Amino acid sequence: MTCEQAKALVQKSGTIVLSTGPHLYGAVVASSSYCRATIAQPKFAVTRDNAKCQVGYVCLPYTGGNR
């Protein structure tokens, strides 16, 4: 799928599960508002037309002073 198609899928669904490697998967969310009590980090994926497409965000736990 193209970068725009991947972005649209995440926006439409709110949250998707994306393969991040063999037998590894992670949740990708449409915006930082999905990351309650955590921080949002941009999530990039390889798409048909873009080797570094920002498809959405991943929610990560707070660590140290990154609040």
| Domain assignment of residue 44, yes or no | yes
Q: What is the pLDDT of residues 34-56, one digit of tens each?
A: 998 899 999 999 999 999 999 99
- Owning domain of residue 45: 3-60
| Domain assignment of residue 12, yes or no | yes
* Prediction pTM value: 0.84
Q: What is the pLDDT of residues 1-10, one digit of tens each?
A: 999 999 999 9
| Domain assignment of residue 65, yes or no | no
Please count the structural domains in the chain. Answer: 1
* pLDDT for position 21: 80
| Domain assignment of residue 66, yes or no | no
| Domain assignment of residue 67, yes or no | no
Dihedral class, residue 50 (left if φ above 0, else alpha if ψ from -120 to 50, else beta): beta
